[in-house]
Structure 1
Amino acid sequence: MLSPDVVAAIAAELAEADRAHAVIPRITARHPDATVEDAYAIQGVWRDRMLATGRRLVGRKIGLTSKAMQRATGIAEPDYGVMFDDTVHPSGAEIPVDLFSNVRIEVELAFVLATPLEGPDCSLPDVLEATGQVVPALEVLNSHIELEGRTIVDTISDNAAYGAMVLGGTRRHPEEVDLRWVPGLLYRNGVIEETGVAAGVLDHPARGVAWLANKLHHHGARLEAGEIILAGSFTRPLWVSRGDEVLADYGPMGTVTCHFV
């Protein structure tokens, strides 16, 4: 495993890359023996640095839960990161491209927890019982590590490539809609680019949340009431640039839009 000094140094490097909207060389190219535990340690030090500046944690994102995303990235296991209050935008928001690196967008569902959720044996029914609302959402990816050749270690260290979230206005209780069959039609500048269905996330998007609760248990943590959990994308990531208008149509869950400026 990496020494605490090396973990802290990489976390500081990522914090500076975030501030400068820059990209750094792969961690695994420089530290080929780095493990997944090292990656979460790096992410944890980076998270604590952000909290110390006054940012507030409002939820977690889960990544790489669908075959579409695993094939797009070449990474075959899920990961997770944290979300801060200043990264959450309403549908229709204008989002500055210059805040991010390697900007892409994904179609997801967000689970807003009404009660805490804890492993180690969290299941799909547990997630549905703990969820107060399900909301359609777009995730903006923000990768500070060079993409070519990256591994799960690189991605986790970089807060699972999370940049921002755009929340829709439609909110449903899990009992009001069949979450497996929520569609996702992703448009860029009026042209349809990606399609998917929420069952692409582990056959039910709530299973992604259960995976996270069980994973956090091994790190001595749990999901708290009020947290927003992005369950993972059921489309491939779509590259976006300044000037792009993005619309995602979730059928009975409404639409989510944003404009990159």
Structure 2
Amino acid sequence: MLPPDVIARIADELAEADRTHGVIPRITARYPDATIEDSYAIQGVWRDKNLAAGRRLVGRKIGLTSKAMQQATGITEPDYGVMFDDTVHRSGAEIETSRFSNVRIEVELAFVLREPLEGPDCTLDDALAAIDYAIPALEVLNSHIELEGRTIVDTISDNAAYGAMVLGEVRKRPDEIDLRWVPGVLSRNGEIEETGVAAGVLGHPATGVAWLANKFAQHGARLEAGEIILAGSFTRPMWVAAGDEVVCDYGPMGTVTCRFT
């Protein structure tokens, strides 16, 4: 693994890039031997400094769970990051573009847990039993590491490129709807840009929740009741800029909208 002082220095670089809305050189270009364990250690240092500064953790994001996203990034395994309370918006929100770097939108479902969920042998059925409800969500990507040539080590270190999420209003229990067939029709300024169905996420969008519980078990941790789990995009990311109006139609789960200023 990278030495602790190097991990701390990279976490500080990412924190400064977040503050200034900048971009830093790829970690893997400077430290080609950096591992996935190093990247989660970097993310952990960054997370803990945010918690110490008073931010409140409300959930986790899972990324790179669909073929669409893996093909778009060239990265072939899922990752995860943390979500703080000040990054959660409701449908109809105005979002300041200058707060982010490399701003893109993804179409996802989010899940709120009714009870704790832990591995190491968590299954899809276990995850569905622990979920209180699903809710449609847009994720705002926020990448502080140069995109060209990045690997999963770079992405994880950068909190899995999470910036914010916009939640819809419709809530569905897993037994109320076949979550695999929830559609997403994503439009920018009135033109359809991306479409997909939630089954594109590992065959079922809640499979990622089980994957995350099992991943956490490797570190002696679990997912807690009340946490929001953003399950991964089932469309490719869509670039946005100031002035763009974004609408996503989730069929029986309603629409989610936001405007970038």
Give the TM bin, normalised by the shorter chain.
Answer: over 0.9
What secondary structure is seen at the aligned counterpart in 2 of 1:106?
strand
1:207 aligns with 2:207: yes
What is the CA deviation profile of residues 156-207 of structure 1, one whole-angstrom value per residue up to 9, with x for unaligned ones?
A: 0000000000000001111000000000000000000000000000000010
Which ranges in structure 1 are unaligned for 5 or more consecutive residues?
none
1:145 aligns with 2:153: no
The corresponding residue for 1:178 is 178
What secondary structure is seen at the aligned counterpart in 2 of 1:205?
coil
What is the CA deviation profile of residues 17-62 of structure 1, one whole-angstrom value per residue up to 9, with x for unaligned ones?
A: 0000000000000000000000000000000010011000000000
Q: Distance in 1 between matches of 2:98 and 2:116?
A: 36
RMSD: 0.4
1:117 aligns with 2:117: yes
The one-letter code sitting in structure 1 at the alignment partner of 2:143 is S
Describe how 1:123-162 pairs up with structure 2 within 5 A: 123-162=123-162
What secondary structure is seen at the aligned counterpart in 1 of 2:247?
strand
What is the CA deviation profile of residues 103-154 of structure 1, one whole-angstrom value per residue up to 9, with x for unaligned ones?
A: 0000000000000000101110111100001000000000000000000000
1:223 aligns with 2:190: no
Q: Distance in 2 between matches of 1:70 and 1:148?
A: 15
Q: Distance in 1 between matches of 2:216 and 2:187?
A: 34
* TM-score, length basis structure 1: 1.00
1:71: Cα distance to partner? 0.0
Q: Distance in 1 between matches of 2:46 and 2:162?
A: 13
The one-letter code sitting in structure 2 at the alignment partner of 1:184 is G
1:220: Cα distance to partner? 1.8
1:256: Cα distance to partner? 0.2
The one-letter code sitting in structure 2 at the alignment partner of 1:227 is E
* TM-score, length basis structure 2: 1.00
**Aligned length, in residue pairs:** 261
Q: Distance in 2 between matches of 1:153 and 1:90?
A: 31
Q: Distance in 2 between matches of 1:217 and 1:256?
A: 33
Q: Distance in 2 between matches of 1:256 and 1:111?
A: 16
1:198 aligns with 2:198: yes
What secondary structure is seen at the aligned counterpart in 2 of 1:176?
coil
What secondary structure is seen at the aligned counterpart in 2 of 1:11?
helix
Q: Distance in 2 between matches of 1:104 and 1:221?
A: 31
Q: Distance in 1 between matches of 2:239 and 2:146?
A: 15
Which ranges in structure 2 are unaligned for 5 or more consecutive residues?
none
What secondary structure is seen at the aligned counterpart in 1 of 2:242?
coil
The corresponding residue for 1:236 is 236
Q: Distance in 2 between matches of 1:222 and 1:109?
A: 20
Segments ≥4 residues shifted beyond 2 Å = none
Q: Distance in 2 between matches of 1:18 and 1:171?
A: 32
1:257: Cα distance to partner? 0.2
1:219: Cα distance to partner? 1.7
The corresponding residue for 1:79 is 79
The corresponding residue for 2:247 is 247
